[in-house]
């Protein structure tokens, strides 16, 4: 993949939705926004992390808010560009590259749309290697890159620049603004120099998303098991295939929080998997035993199609397959777990090392 | 008054507290902050509106939040300067003058402290001619001056720049930030050119505050009635002298909201005055009849000393005298009443023309 165009966008959206662990927004809405921008402005050039000049100015852009709200309040398009322009004005220099802050249905697509609109290349990588709900949960935070200055923009034309004392404070301030402006805004933050990308980003996640999306599509076309194809590509672990029998969710503090219960079917009948989420799936408990925790990836796929199921897309009766996959190893360092381990989110369990 | 120094600061604080109609923060805390800044940096030069060059950059600075919180969380000092510096950086030019955004106990003193710290003169005037609770309630709004860009700062070192689509949106965004940061932040906004001051400010309100404060002090020294002295200087109307018998207040949405009940004493025994407030006194109802409304000034003074009583200083048993005074005539225009009339605040009464 050397460019993102109308032909490979669907695969990227599908794969990114799976890697987004239930979060990062609905892939369908994200795809529509990126498709519109590519139609209007042309394909987006993709560059590898090691192709980026050391003094480049790489700006991650993203949507912030509750995915539940996104479903009812579809972005106009252009909000990320507004955040980018506000940030560029504030820092006094122009972005040379766009990057995704995370992998996820909408948050992989919005940077593509923004890159098309701005006429800039996009970096093949992201700052999480998955999706996380809060702005400070990024690998650049582990190497001392701040998320301030952070530029926020909404669809009405409001822009806000946050210069916070630390990454958690920026998240708190941005989240308060986000809630006030209707639980959906755009952000440009965590500016990286080219020579910080190797340490600050997970490489090649756009390529991985495309390959993953293609594997699911091809398995489907060949009438083989698309979920197995995805699991194989991610070297993932099967947790349960079953039926969603209960979902409780609330939109709270600018997040979609809740819990889902899945009952096994066929030869897994009698087993129960519970998923706890805050925008993303964070904890999987099977028959009362913790089987996967954040920061590892907990991915929910439609059993038939292999398409990703977002936390806001969970509904009674849906047949899903749940798998776990290993996160980027930097997340399981003490600093990484302090940022995004299960205890940060208030769950009374320790990180469960993947595969144990 | 050509400068503000340690000798006239007390009179200004007392007078500004009276003109602040119960809001703008506790005069004592404000005075301490201004005194400290003047001790350290020297007196502040005061300039009349018509002395300011047409192309001057006049920046109003203020504290924003709930006065009830101010009592428990005293500013460090320097927060307004941080907001000023963030604003100057954003607009790309330096302030030439500081101005008060409103008249009030703290919000008349913080600009003095900021002017001392920045080594800038202060303009003798303010954008309200009284105090109001919300950021868009300023006369410059009536002549098309926006309150964006608005710079906000807190005592931890966080700064935020708001570029909103209109003055109400800026207030909403700033208030959300204010609440998140603990209900007390500093603001620099509503930048005025020198040639906008005549239309945008109420002139000579620092001088009026000083004269009012001096009149109260002198009456007290002469064992005459300080409340009568204040009323005479403001051409005010007496509403009631009595005892506070009930106060209900809540800190809500970043404001101190509530209602107080005052029962007449001596030859006013049997009369009851009720005051509704949102940071400032907004509505006075005597024996069930509306007798004064925002945007006119409703001032509560300690009956003995003539000192101003802020809304957060109201407490059971306090002997107070309440007077009403005429607001700047621009406030009673249709645009002024839309911004700050009683219906904006949710009271089901029309503006009561002063003296009717």
Strand partners, B320: B242, B302
Name the minimum distance, in Å, from the CA of A159 to any CA of chain B: 5
pLDDT at B241 over 70: yes
Q: Locate tokens 């927060």: which residue?
A: B79
CB crowding A253-281: b at 16 or more within 10 Å, else e:
ebbbbbebbbbbeeebeebbbbbbbbbbb
pLDDT tens by residue, B169-196 = 999 999 999 999 988 899 999 999 999 9
Q: Does the beta-carbon distance from A158 to B176 stay under 8 Å?
A: no
Give pLDDT, residue B104. 85
Q: Does the beta-carbon distance from B158 to A173 stay under 8 Å?
A: yes
The distance of Cα A250 from the centroid of its chain, to the nearest Å, equals: 20
The answer to whether the bond into A295 is cis (omega within 30° of 0) is yes
For helices B9-19 and B205-221, the axis angle rounded to 10 degrees is 100
Scanning A17-46 for CB atoms below 8 A from B yields: none
**How is the beta sheet containing A237-252 ordered, strand by strand?**
A289-293, A280-286, A272-278, A255-264, A237-252, A319-325, A297-302
Any A CB within 8 A of B266 CB: no
Chains A, B: CB pairs < 8 Å: 55
Q: Which residue of A lies nearest to B163 if distances are taken between CA atoms? A: A159
Q: Which residue of A lies nearest to B156 if distances are taken between CA atoms? A: A165
Residue B310 in contact with residue B105, Cβ under 8 Å? yes
d(CA B10, CA B30): 10
Residue B172 in contact with residue B137, Cβ under 8 Å? no
For residue B266, the tally of other CB atoms under 10 A from its CB is 8
- Asked if the A224-340 domain carries CATH number 2.40.50.140, the reply is no
What residue spans of B222-346 are helical by DSSP H?
A: 226-234, 334-340
pLDDT at B256 over 90: no
A272: left (phi over 0), alpha (psi -120 to 50) or beta: beta
Write the CB contacts of A80 (distance below 8 Å, at least 6 apart in sequence).
A61, A62, A63, A110, A111, A113, A114, A117, A153, A186, A188
Give pLDDT, residue B72. 66
Residue B323 in contact with residue B233, Cβ under 8 Å? no
Give pLDDT, residue B212. 98
Show residues of chain B in contact with A87, CB under 8 Å.
none
How does DSSP assign A211-280, residue by residue? HHHHHHHHHHHTTS-HHHHHHHHHT-EEEEEEEEEEEEEEEETTEEEEEEEEEE-GGGTT-EEEEEEESE
Give pLDDT, residue A356. 81
Of B159, B173, B175, the CB nearest to A163: B159
Scanning B161-220 for CB atoms below 8 A from A yields: 161-165, 169, 172-173, 175-177, 179-181
Q: Does the beta-carbon distance from B159 to A160 stay under 8 Å?
A: no
Top residue of A161, A165, A169 to mutate, by most chain B CBs within 10 Å, is A161
Of B86, B158, B173, the CB nearest to A160: B173
Show residues of chain A in contact with B185, CB under 8 Å.
none
pLDDT tens by residue, B3-16 = 999 999 999 999 99
Q: What is the CATH number of domain B3-203?
A: 3.40.1610.10
Name the minimum distance, in Å, from the CA of B28 to any CA of chain A: 30
For helices A109-118 and A27-41, the axis angle rounded to 10 degrees is 10
Scanning A56-115 for CB atoms below 8 A from B yields: 86, 90
Q: Locate tokens 């700047």: which residue?
A: B328
Write the CB contacts of B27 (distance below 8 Å, at least 6 apart in sequence).
B13, B14, B16, B17, B20, B105, B106, B109, B307, B308, B310
With bands split at pLDDT 50, 70 and 90, how would you rate the model's confidence at B78?
confident
Beta strand pairing call for A237-252 and B255-264: unpaired
pLDDT tens by residue, A228-257 = 999 999 999 999 999 999 999 888 777 788
Show residues of chain B in contact with A180, CB under 8 Å.
172-173, 175-176
Give pLDDT, residue A256. 80
Give the residue among A218, A254, A240, A230 at the shortest CA–CA distance from A289.
A240
Q: Which residue of A lies nearest to B92 if distances are taken between CA atoms? A: A90
Q: Does the beta-carbon distance from A160 to B161 stay under 8 Å?
A: yes
d(CA A14, CA A184): 22
Give the residue among A116, A120, A59, A52 at the shortest CA–CA distance from A87.
A59
Q: Does the beta-carbon distance from B162 to A160 stay under 8 Å?
A: yes
Of A86, A158, A173, the CB nearest to B164: A158
Of B164, B169, B179, the CB nearest to A176: B179
Name the minimum distance, in Å, from the CA of B186 to any CA of chain A: 14
Q: Does the beta-carbon distance from B160 to A161 stay under 8 Å?
A: yes
Q: Does the beta-carbon distance from A90 to B161 stay under 8 Å?
A: yes
d(CA A8, CA A210): 7
Give pLDDT, residue A289. 97
Give the residue among B287, B298, B283, B297 at the shortest CA–CA distance from B348.
B283
For helices B109-118 and B9-19, the axis angle rounded to 10 degrees is 140
Show residues of chain A in contact with B176, CB under 8 Å.
176-177, 179-180
Of B159, B169, B180, the CB nearest to A158: B169
What residue spans of chain B are helical by DSSP H?
A: 9-19, 27-41, 67-70, 79-91, 109-118, 167-180, 197-200, 205-221, 226-234, 334-340
CATH class as words, domain B225-340: mainly beta
d(CA A12, CA A254): 27
The answer to whether the bond into A184 is cis (omega within 30° of 0) is no
Q: What token pair was written down for A267? A: 């030869």
Residue A59 in contact with residue A84, Cβ under 8 Å? yes
Looking at this predicted complex, what is its ipTM?
A: 0.87
Q: Does the beta-carbon distance from B160 to A159 stay under 8 Å?
A: no
Show residues of chain A in contact with B180, CB under 8 Å.
172-173, 175-176
Q: Does the beta-carbon distance from A180 to B173 stay under 8 Å?
A: yes
Give pLDDT, residue A255. 78
Give the residue among B18, B6, B9, B11 at the shortest CA–CA distance from B302.
B18
Of B90, B165, B176, the CB nearest to A177: B176
Helix (H) or strand (E) holding B350: none
d(CA A153, CA B252): 26
pLDDT tens by residue, B293-340 = 999 999 999 999 999 999 888 999 999 999 999 999 999 999 999 999
Q: Does the beta-carbon distance from A159 to B163 stay under 8 Å?
A: yes
Show residues of chain B in contact with A88, CB under 8 Å.
none
Give pLDDT, residue A68. 64
Q: What tens-digit pLDDT sequence spans chain A (356 residues)?
A: 699 999 999 999 999 999 999 987 777 888 998 999 999 999 999 999 999 999 999 999 999 986 666 666 677 778 899 999 999 999 999 999 999 999 987 899 999 999 999 999 999 999 999 999 888 999 999 999 999 999 999 999 999 999 999 999 999 999 999 999 988 899 999 999 999 999 999 999 999 999 999 999 999 999 999 999 999 999 999 999 999 999 998 887 777 889 999 999 999 999 999 999 998 999 999 999 999 999 999 999 999 999 999 988 899 999 999 999 999 999 999 999 999 999 999 999 999 999 88
For residue B160, the tally of other CB atoms under 10 A from its CB is 30
How does DSSP assign B300-329, residue by residue? EEETTT--B--GGG--TT-EEEEEEEPPPG
d(CA A173, CA A307): 34
d(CA B153, CA B177): 10
Average pLDDT, chain B: 94
pLDDT at B1 over 80: no
Q: Does the beta-carbon distance from A86 to B163 stay under 8 Å?
A: yes
Domain residue spans of chain B: 3-203, 225-340
DSSP letter assigned to residue B343: T
The distance of Cα A347 from the centroid of its chain, to the nearest Å, equals: 21
| Three-state DSSP class for residue B244 | strand
How does DSSP assign A238-253, residue by residue? EEEEEEEEEEEEEEET
d(CA A275, CA A322): 10
Q: What token pair was written down for A158? A: 């409001």
Residue B21 in contact with residue B298, Cβ under 8 Å? yes
Show residues of chain A in contact with B86, CB under 8 Å.
163
d(CA B47, CA B27): 23
Q: Does the beta-carbon distance from B165 to A181 stay under 8 Å?
A: no
Residue A31 in contact with residue A9, Cβ under 8 Å? yes
Name the minimum distance, in Å, from the CA of A181 to any CA of chain B: 8
pLDDT tens by residue, A144-181 = 999 999 999 999 999 999 999 999 999 999 999 999 99
């Amino acid at each position: 993949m050397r460019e993102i165009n109308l032909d490979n966008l669907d695969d990227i959206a599908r794969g990114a939705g799976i890697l987004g662990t239930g979060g990062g927004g609905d892939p369908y809405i994200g795809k529509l926004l990126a498709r519109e921008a590519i139609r209007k402005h042309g394909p987006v050039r993709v560059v590898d992390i090691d192709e980026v000049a050391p003094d480049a100015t790489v700006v991650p852009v993203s949507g912030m808010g509750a995915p539940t709200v996104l479903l009812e309040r579809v972005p106009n398009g252009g909000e990320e560009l507004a955040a980018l322009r506000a940030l560029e004005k504030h820092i006094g220099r122009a972005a040379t590259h766009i990057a995704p802050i995370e992998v996820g249905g909408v948050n992989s697509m919005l940077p593509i749309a923004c890159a098309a609109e701005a006429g800039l290349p996009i970096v093949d990588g992201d700052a999480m290697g998955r999706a996380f709900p809060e702005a400070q949960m990024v690998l650049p935070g582990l190497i001392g890159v701040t998320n301030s200055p952070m530029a926020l923009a909404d669809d009405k034309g409001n822009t806000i620049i946050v210069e916070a004392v630390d990454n958690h404070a920026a998240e708190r301030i941005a989240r308060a603004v986000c809630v006030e402006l209707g639980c959906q805004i755009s952000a440009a933050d965590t500016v990286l120099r080219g020579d910080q990308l190797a340490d600050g980003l997970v490489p090649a996640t756009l390529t991985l998303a495309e390959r993953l999306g293609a594997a699911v599509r091809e398995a489907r076309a060949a009438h083989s098991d698309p979920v197995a194809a995805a699991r194989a590509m991610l070297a993932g672990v099967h947790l349960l295939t079953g039926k969603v029998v209960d979902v409780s969710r609330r939109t709270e503090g600018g997040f979609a929080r809740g819990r889902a219960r899945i009952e096994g079917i066929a030869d897994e009948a009698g087993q129960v998997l519970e998923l706890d989420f805050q925008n993303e799936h964070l904890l999987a408990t099977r028959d009362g035993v913790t089987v996967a925790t954040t920061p590892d990836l907990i991915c929910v796929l439609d059993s038939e199609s292999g398409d990703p199921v977002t936390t806001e897309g969970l509904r009674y009766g849906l047949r899903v397959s749940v798998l776990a996959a290993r996160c980027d190893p930097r997340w399981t360092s003490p600093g990484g777990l302090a940022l995004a381990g299960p205890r940060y989110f208030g769950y009374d369990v320790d990180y469960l090392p993947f595969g144990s």
